Structure 1
Amino acid sequence: MPDVTMMLEATGALGAAGGLGYAKYRAPRVYWSLVGLPAAVGRLTFTYRATMDVCGLTVQPSRLRAFMARNVARREVQPVPPRIHGVRGTSTGLRVTLRLPAGLEPADVIASSERLRHAWGVHSVTVVETRPGFVELRMTGYDVLRRVRMPRGAVARDMVVPVALREDGTAFERDYRKAPMALTLGANASGKSMYQRNLIKGLARLPVALAGIDCKRGVEQSAFAPRLSALATTPDDAASLLAVLVAEMEDRFDLLSRHGVSDLWELPGHLRPVPVVVLVDEVAELFLISSRKDEERRERIVTALIRLAQMARAAGIYLEICGQRFGSDLGKGATMLRAQLTGRVVHRVNDKQTAEMGLADVAPDAVTVASLIPMERPGTAVAADASGGWSKIRTPEITRAEVAAVCREHAHLVPDLPPLDPFRPYVPAEPLAPVPSLLKPSPATD
């Protein structure tokens, strides 16, 4: 009987070990909650002071504290590390709030984040300043970008659209109120189109007008026609659409002037025009010309884009520009337009110069990271803005058919915007389901 009991115990232990090994790769959240989180908290608890000292994140104590240690506590005076103000576990990692002592700044902790990652055995450590004197260490226990799962609370709202997952396990949100104009770069098969699909899926649920410019004859955006207020599929149509948008911007400025406000969102709800998001699929198609007769059209397009990028934010018109490359080699006006695009998302690129075009002027440290994105990780990108901060993100995989279904479901949200009516894409009527006949068939008789 003892042999049977021992065999059952050994079998149970092997089964549990095998289950944990399976969960580590197939269900990393479960493995992290059961094994990784307790182990990380234990390492943090027992090695915190020594790790901070080795990483250079300690300061000399004040004179009063040193005096009390020597003469009252009768112990050796030790350097003071940041004080822990809270430890919170999550399904993907660990959050540790630190109170920085006098003499340390958030940049010191950021510079040591890689050392902290190795010391505590976690996948990544991101440092975020929460308020003056306090920083939060956002640790992830595993590679959350390997299999993207968006947080449950990530839903589109108030011109804020969650489109990707950050490396620290939080949602990357496209906030049009904070970054009204944005540029997305990426090579073929880098996930640029996937990013735009997730963006359109979120925008389709909001009360906004969507204007698409897809000069590849609409092969990317035509499937989303039920939710689009306008769609231009040729450079000539794009020039006309942009001219209408500039005129709409000027009309909205007149409205703002009459009511004594400087921003669309300061107007009362019943007077506020609907926001417009302009989605440019491939910006190079608007710049490149094949003959001299196309130069005039190109000038009109570039001038309209620059005017919208400079002034349209206050009128509630936002630009979302995508392309494989966006530099001065596109021609006159390209650099000026790029300087107006606050948000930057750079996927895998074919050369370092393209990464520099998107990131060097806002987050130089992120250029190298963008240049090293592997081909087998489509959808991975570096997101940055004019504040200098950046993060590594990855968009969840979604099919064109799924986004098209969302657009059809929310087709009733297409706003009434008469200036865009001439550019409204044709939406074929859905075939009706076959209706069963009410007549009973009668048998044939001779």
Structure 2
Amino acid sequence: MTDLVTLAELGGPLAAIGGAAYARHAYPAVYWSTIGLPVSVTRLLASYTSTMDACGLTVAPPRWRALAVRATTRREVRPVPPRRGLIRPTSTGLRVRLRLAPGQEPADVAASAERLRHAWGVHAVYVRDVKPGVVELRLVGFDVLRKVRMPRRTVGDLLRVPVAVREDATAFVRDYRAVPHELVLGATLSGKSMYLRNLLTKLAAQPVVLVGIDCKRGVELAPFAARLSALATDPDQAAELLPVLVKEMEDRYDLIKARQGIVPGTPEELITSDIWGLPEDERPAPIVLFIDEVAELFLVATRKEEERRDEMVTQLIRLAQLGRAAGIYLEVCGQRFGAELGKGATMLRAQLTGRVCHRVNDEASAKMALGDIAPEAVHAACAIAAELPGLAVVGDTSGGWSRIRTPYLSLADAAATCRATTHLAPDVPALTPFRPYVPPVPVEDSGPVVTPEPVTE
């Protein structure tokens, strides 16, 4: 009996410790909600003043306060930290606002983020400028990119869809109105197709015209044919489709000019408005063009193919330069996109504002995607491990960058979503000849409801 009691006394704590360790590895969100959150809050409250002092984030108190402390308590006047607001727990971490003292700036707090992470025992600390004199600390309790779960509170809108999770546990939203064109680079099995799959299925639920160019015989975009308004599966078909899109863009410019009363002969470059200024009943549906393996449009083997390539590149550049006002947006994907592809490659890349770089095979490929907008992000892109498909570095022309990862979405679920949203595809008569063939879904024969019986006399 004594042995059983001893075993229970020792086995209970050991089982609890082992269960906590297993939950921390297998179910980090559960571990954070039950154990990590209370521990981190306790550490923050207990060591807030000393941690801020150690990080150099304290300042001398006002003179009136120093005189009051000396007159009432006769103790030494200590520096004061930034005033802390309420601690707001989340499913992935904590959020707390700090009111900076005079003479401090958000960069001072951001420089101490790594020290705060170690002091409070969390996975990461991110600083966001809320308003002058106020910053928000976002404490992330665990690695949210290891097992991706999209935030529940994600607000989508027309041409604004959440497709991935940032490393600070917020949603990465692809906003075509703010970033009209985007370049997505990544090596084989880097997760580039998963990103494209998530983006396409989210757009499929909106009244948006989806057009695809997949020169790999359609193996990437063919499963979504039910929702695509046009699909080209080789360079020859792409050479026929691109002029139609350019003509559609020109027709939309004519519609804008007619609405504004501008002379029809006015050049497109002088038109500063866009389709969003038109009445809703006259506004044409936006078009998103997906190009998979863009290098296939540049590679040529004969003189005749070179002429075709030059025409296609010129049309793509025109769409990238003038398409935004006409509601035409580009999503260009590939493994490598540099000047060695040929004439016009660099000019086209310069028009692609958004950049998403998955794991690449060399540093030069990362520089092609991020080197001209966020040089600091190049090293982060080169450090992506092969064991984390879908992990990418996203940057924009503002110079900011962050790590993101797309959630897993099976090809069968994505294809089913596209089949269920076929009725949402706007009708564009010019693209009807390029609509892909979708075989009908076979209907299973359930047989007669009542088993027939022979007629007896």
State whether structure 2 residue 291 is matched by structure 1 residue 283: no
How far 1:62 moved relative to its partner?
A: 4.3
- Deviations along 1:145-164, one digit per CA (max 9) or x if unpaired, are 11111112336432111111
- 1:258-337 residue pairs with structure 2 within 5 A? 258-260=258-260, 262-337=273-348
State whether structure 2 residue 244 is matched by structure 1 residue 233: no
What is the match of residue 445 of structure 2?
434
Amino acid at match of 2:88: R
CA distance in 1, matches of 2:5, 2:423: 66
Distance 1:65 1:334, change over 3 A: farther
Distance 1:289 1:46, change over 3 A: same
SS at match of 2:439: coil
What is the match of residue 428 of structure 2?
417
Structure 1: gaps (5+ residues): none
Structure 2: gaps (5+ residues): 261-271
How far 1:435 moved relative to its partner?
A: 4.0
What is the match of residue 112 of structure 1?
112
CA distance in 2, matches of 1:383, 1:428: 37
CA distance in 1, matches of 2:320, 2:14: 62
Distance 1:333 1:79, change over 3 A: farther
- Deviations along 1:37-86, one digit per CA (max 9) or x if unpaired, are 11111111122222222223233444444454455653433333222123
State whether structure 2 residue 251 is matched by structure 1 residue 251: yes
CA distance in 2, matches of 1:132, 1:254: 45
- Deviations along 1:274-325, one digit per CA (max 9) or x if unpaired, are 1111111111111121122112211111111112112211211111111111
Amino acid at match of 1:253: Y
SS at match of 2:376: helix
* Identity among equivalent pairs (%): 61
State whether structure 2 residue 166 is matched by structure 1 residue 166: yes
Contact 1:179/1:342 (8 A) holds in 2 = yes
- 1:37-52 residue pairs with structure 2 within 5 A? 37-52=37-52
How far 1:438 moved relative to its partner?
A: 6.4
- 1:49-128 residue pairs with structure 2 within 5 A? 49-70=49-70, 74-128=74-128
Distance 1:62 1:439, change over 3 A: closer
Amino acid at match of 1:255: L
Contact 1:355/1:370 (8 A) holds in 2 = yes
Q: Which moved more, 1:225-234 or 1:321-330?
A: 321-330
Distance 1:259 1:17, change over 3 A: same
- Deviations along 1:386-416, one digit per CA (max 9) or x if unpaired, are 1222111111111211110100011111111
SS at match of 2:119: helix
Distance 1:340 1:107, change over 3 A: farther
What is the match of residue 175 of structure 2?
175
CA distance in 2, matches of 1:142, 1:439: 59
Amino acid at match of 1:368: H
Amino acid at match of 1:386: T
Contact 1:216/1:233 (8 A) holds in 2 = yes
Amino acid at match of 1:427: V
- Deviations along 1:159-192, one digit per CA (max 9) or x if unpaired, are 1111111111111111111111111111110000
State whether structure 2 residue 408 is matched by structure 1 residue 397: yes
CA distance in 2, matches of 1:97, 1:33: 21
What is the match of residue 351 of structure 1?
362
What is the match of residue 148 of structure 2?
148
Contact 1:182/1:342 (8 A) holds in 2 = yes
CA distance in 2, matches of 1:396, 1:293: 43
What is the match of residue 24 of structure 2?
24
Contact 1:86/1:98 (8 A) holds in 2 = no
Q: Which moved more, 1:293-302 or 1:409-418?
A: 293-302
Q: Which moved more, 1:356-365 or 1:195-204?
A: 356-365
State whether structure 2 residue 358 is matched by structure 1 residue 361: no
Distance 1:291 1:73, change over 3 A: farther
Contact 1:156/1:202 (8 A) holds in 2 = no
CA distance in 2, matches of 1:218, 1:60: 66
CA distance in 2, matches of 1:268, 1:67: 66
Contact 1:156/1:203 (8 A) holds in 2 = no
Amino acid at match of 2:44: L
Contact 1:156/1:205 (8 A) holds in 2 = no
SS at match of 2:225: helix
How far 1:437 moved relative to its partner?
A: 3.6
State whether structure 2 residue 229 is matched by structure 1 residue 218: no
How far 1:344 moved relative to its partner?
A: 1.1
Amino acid at match of 2:300: I
Amino acid at match of 1:95: R
Amino acid at match of 1:116: L
Contact 1:302/1:333 (8 A) holds in 2 = yes
Q: Which moved more, 1:222-231 or 1:398-407?
A: 398-407
Q: Which moved more, 1:90-99 or 1:111-120?
A: 111-120
Amino acid at match of 1:264: I
What is the match of residue 134 of structure 2?
134
SS at match of 1:98: strand
SS at match of 2:231: strand
Count of paired positions: 445
| TM-score normalised to structure 2 length | 0.91
How far 1:11 moved relative to its partner?
A: 5.0
Contact 1:210/1:228 (8 A) holds in 2 = yes
CA distance in 2, matches of 1:357, 1:79: 48
What is the match of residue 385 of structure 1?
396
| Cα RMSD for the two superposed structures | 2.3
Q: Which moved more, 1:225-234 or 1:17-26?
A: 17-26
Distance 1:67 1:296, change over 3 A: farther
How far 1:9 moved relative to its partner?
A: 5.9
Distance 1:438 1:47, change over 3 A: closer
How far 1:4 moved relative to its partner?
A: 7.2
Distance 1:438 1:67, change over 3 A: closer
